[in-house]
Chain A
């Protein structure tokens, strides 16, 4: 079986005639924990959306699990945690359990009813995310950190092999952030989930991930974080030498 989970080949994306991603080549292998960093407007979110088929490519190809994106149908293998701000209406009258269960809506086609397997998977996801105790509360009543974990749990309910997260710690307090990274570490180490984390928080990302992808319209570094630090990539990426980068524990 091919160990390459995500493959972007010469991917370009244009918005209103402006190039947002320019000939990006990126390969992510099974079990990697990849952090995608870059300044604001670098195209980090667009990169995630491109590999999910949510934006039209102007050139290039995307393959997921070795399959061309246009023919890819195994969406249950992919978990996606979008940016909270775009994804969420806090007055939505749904419990955490209902939201997490909805992560399995795509399985088995439309019109199927949730069964015991779906409920067991949702329970496992809630347990993993530390939300089982609050499963019957309305999702809008939670703290921002807890809400982020609800969205991770929704993605986990599908038992994905590839987990994509877009700025998941924005607005989360330091304690919530630490719990959040603990959950990602657990998924990565214990379950072997391939994780792709888009973040503006360079220090946290560099500390957690096994691979860094530095993006500013085009990808100009992809490798272990230590190498990025040595090569001065971050200074080139952000145009500053004042970056504080925490070291691996």
Chain B
């Protein structure tokens, strides 16, 4: 294929597939735990980390990761303490994150083009080093899900029953929030802050339409996301449209198709 002759396209495919392997698997837990808005919130908080990193002259990915993790722990703490309404706490962090990002980036000046890349994704601009840290983060997320699978399942299906069984639900809630934060940072380069939650949520919803077990839901979600990433990138290359938009649109088409198939059965 012509597009695979370009190094930037190969790296884009690699980055997209790394996201497709992790985001939907985390997304299944996120959807079932009704944490979808949290993914959006943490993406915006991560953007503030990009702003801080640009200002300090360190790696934007590192800044995004650190702030997303701090945001994750803050949101989880507010949720668990019940001090604020859940959605209100998220809105506070979401708009706060975006506001801090805008202020910091404007202080750093001349990075407006970079800002657009983080808002809407810049998968074709992914460098070899980006790919390495994305792979590391993806391995962290994937192995955490594999190791804590049964515990996360019990937590997600019935938190109270899990608590009575002696499952450490507080620690697992923190773990899940941290995994969302890490996934969001991986997704930021591929589809951008504004569309990251789409790759967590939409393939998970699509899989739930068709899957006959929880394990199958995880597998199908990853498969749908990989299909969306690959065909979205191909479409963006030949049609010359934004890759992130193309990937998310294909995801939505797959969801519509799965809903149609499920409706016929």
A244 to B96 alpha-carbon distance, docked (Å): 61
Contact of A87 among B147, B158, B166 (CB under 8 A): B158
With A110-B168, A110-B172, A136-B212 in contact, do A87 and B150 touch (Cβ < 8 Å)?
no
Nearest chain A CB to B204 CB, angstrom units: 10
Q: Which residues of A contact B168 (CB under 8 A)?
A: 110
Q: Which stretch in A26-34, A94-102, A183-191, A199-207 binds the other chain?
A: A94-102
Look across to chain B and name the residue whose beta carbon is closest to the beta carbon of A139.
B157
Main SS class of interface, B: helix
Complex CA distance for A136 and B215, rounded to whole angstroms: 12
Taking a contact as CB atoms closer than 8 A, the residue among A94, A98, A106, A112 that contacts B162 in the complex is A106
Question: CB of B163 within 8 A of chain A?
Answer: yes
List the B side residues contacting A76 at CB < 8 Å. 165-166
Chain B, residue nearest A49 (CB)? B160
Q: A73-B166, A75-B166 are in contact. Are A95 and B214 (CB under 8 A)?
A: yes
Q: How far is the CA of A104 from the CA of B168 in the complex (A)?
A: 13
Q: Are A93 and B158 in contact (CB under 8 A)?
A: no
Give per-residue flags for B182-221: 1 if the beta carbon is below 8 A from chain A beta carbons, else 0: 0000000000000000000000000110011111110000
Q: Given the complex, which residues of A lie within 8 Å of B164, measured CB to CB?
A: 52, 54, 75, 78, 80
> CA separation between A73 and B165, bound complex, in Å?
9
CA of A105 to CA of B213, assembled, Å: 18
Q: Does A225 contact B (CB under 8 A)?
A: no
In the assembled complex, which residues on chain A have CB atoms less than 8 Å from the CB atom of B162? 102, 105-106
A112 to B167, CA, bound (A): 12
A91→B208 contact, CB < 8 A: yes
Q: Which residue of A lies closest to B214 (CB)?
A: A94
Q: Which chain B residue has the least Cβ–Cβ distance from A106?
A: B165
Residue A138 at the chain B interface, CB threshold 8 Å: yes
Alpha-carbon distance A106/B208, docked complex (angstroms): 26
Across the interface, name the chain B residue whose C-beta is closest to A52.
Answer: B164
Chain B 145-182 interface 0/1 with A at a Cβ cutoff of 8 Å (1 = within) = 00111110110011011111111100110000000000
Looking across the interface, which residue of chain B has its beta carbon closest to that of A88? B158
B160 contact set on A, CB distance < 8 A: 54, 82, 86-87
Note all chain A residues with C-beta closer than 8 A to B158.
82, 87-88, 102
Which of B148, B165, B217 is within 8 Å of A111, CB to CB? B148
In the bound complex, how far is the Cα of B150 from the Cα of A103, in angstroms? 10
C-alpha gap A99/B215 in the complex (Å): 12
Which B114-159 residues have a C-beta within 8 angstroms of A?
147-151, 153-154, 157-158
Q: Are B214 and A105 touching (Cβ within 8 A)?
A: no
B157 touches A92 (CB 8 A): yes
Residue of B whose beta carbon sits closest to that of A101:
B150
Report B-chain residues with C-beta under 8 Å of the C-beta of A106: 154, 162, 165-167
Is A158 positioned at the interface, with any CB of B under 8 Å from its CB?
yes
B154 touches A105 (CB 8 A): yes
Contacts of B157 in A (CB 8 A): 92, 94, 99, 102
What's the least CB distance linking A71 to chain B, in Å?
13
Contacts of B217 in A (CB 8 A): 93
8 contacts between A and B (CB under 8 A): A54-B160, A75-B164, A93-B214, A95-B213, A102-B154, A102-B158, A110-B148, A138-B213
Residues of A participating in the B interface, judged by any CB pair closer than 8 Å? 52, 54, 73, 75-76, 78, 80, 82, 86-89, 91-95, 98-99, 101-107, 110-114, 136, 138, 154, 158
